[in-house]
Amino acid sequence: MDTIQGQKEAVVTFRKGFKSAPWVPISTMQAQSFRERPLKGPVLVSKIEIPRPDQGEEALRTQLWDLYKAKSKGGEKLDPPAPCASYKGEWIGVMKDGNAPLPDMSEHERFKAIEQNSTSDVTLFYLSGGAWFRAGPPGARPLIKQLCDRSGSRVFTFQYRLVPQYTLPTLLLDVIVAYLYLLSPLPGSFHEPIDPANLILVGESGGASLHLFLLQFLQFLLRSGNPTIRLNNRDIRVAMPKGCAFISPGCDIALSLPSVKRFEPREWLSEGAPWLQPNFPVDRIWPSKPPRGDLHCDNSALCHPLVDPSTWTDWTGMPPMWIAAGEETYADGIKFLVQNIEASGVPVTFVQYEHMPHVWNVVMPFLPQSKHVMRLWGETCKGFAEGRASNPGAYFVKLGKLEMVPIGIQGLLDIPKDEVLERMNVAKDELAKFVWNGPETGCPKL
């Protein structure tokens, strides 16, 4: 797998296998994603529950909904966030001595062991993707374990509510509640309050996008002059986290930029999402009620900044960011995002991997490129924790020996900003005509 040809063939083989797999209903895939996986090695998992907020919940929802409306250009069909729920979460760490944890440890004992084995004061807040319709924590644990190993940090992750039962405003509400839980835990919680200066946002694909939405919400609050949220009868003062480290955030959701077609031959995500095709099986949750154009939102909202983060161009005041991507469907959208982050005065590092598809480290963890990006990801988190910069700039990782070649951020995407946004809106307007009502309808959109 060290040869260029071997790496190319592995990507093509995976793509062929993914494309030929039989389609199953959304509810079946969703249920499968919740199944527990056996834990291997010295990984510690402490399961917790975030109680449903009982005071201030309605005001928080109103505040978030006001932000969605403020960023709307008109014409988007958006659902207000649903009332808060309670949430399942996990603290994850590793045993330094390499021994497997004792099976009869209580959840609190496991949490204390996680703290004792962490070598950093910084917490990683991890969100997984999965097109927002798959459960995250069970499948994400192997990745999270690697981040714990390389960063020395403990990791917190939780399960936000899923699409298509809910839409993005509700998912972002869940992430905000989890963020506030980390900052201001209720009595009886395992952890002590976490200063945002000791918090790093980490995620891949849709999880990275949700964190980018969270940053926009925090920016909105800080600019309002009142960065305090009252929840559960306490005033919680919010602030930006210490740093962010993301892989393959979903950008250019309207699929308007050249990378959509350019990288189609190697991208497993290309040629249309199964759940939008004419013969995809119907179940009790899809098509949605009422029907819409995609799992997570009506297509009229595809260019809203809290649906597609690459359409937001002002990232002023954000923490340092590290973003990795492949030569994937979303590559040009991610490059546009990176350019706007850098133009906003935020230190950003971008690493692109030659010939790699979307979240290659998740779907093909055996590849040298996957091991390489996992090492960089963990080292970046450790660097943020220790106050070290992550070498702002852009780099291209070649096939074969994985040589990292410096490239200029401003030259990443040679399309003017206004033209990029115009292309996105034109594509969105065309897709807004589509609603998936079941097998009799279909759309080529991802």
The single residue listed with the structure tokens 């995002």 is 337
Low-confidence ranges of the chain (pLDDT < 70): 1, 440-446
Indicate the number of domains in the chain. 1
In a domain, 281, yes or no: yes
In a domain, 246, yes or no: yes
Q: What's the confidence (pLDDT) of residue 446?
A: 46
pLDDT in tens, 141-193: 999 999 999 999 999 999 999 999 999 999 999 999 999 999 999 999 999 99
Domain that holds residue 37: 4-431
In a domain, 208, yes or no: yes
In a domain, 318, yes or no: yes
The single residue listed with the structure tokens 């020395």 is 152
To the nearest 10°, report the CA torsion of 387, 393, 398, 400: -20
CA 289/CA 425 separation, integer angstroms: 26
In a domain, 441, yes or no: no
Q: What's the confidence (pLDDT) of residue 237?
A: 96
Distant-in-sequence, close-in-space partners of 26: CB < 8 Å, separation ≥ 6: 133, 164, 275, 283, 285, 286, 295
In a domain, 442, yes or no: no
In a domain, 45, yes or no: yes
Q: What's the confidence (pLDDT) of residue 102?
A: 76
To the nearest 10°, report the CA torsion of 132, 138, 141, 143: -40
CATH number for the domain that contains residue 334: 3.40.50.1820
In a domain, 436, yes or no: no
Percent of the chain predicted with pLDDT > 90: 89
DSSP conformation letters of 251-265: --TT--STHHHHTGG
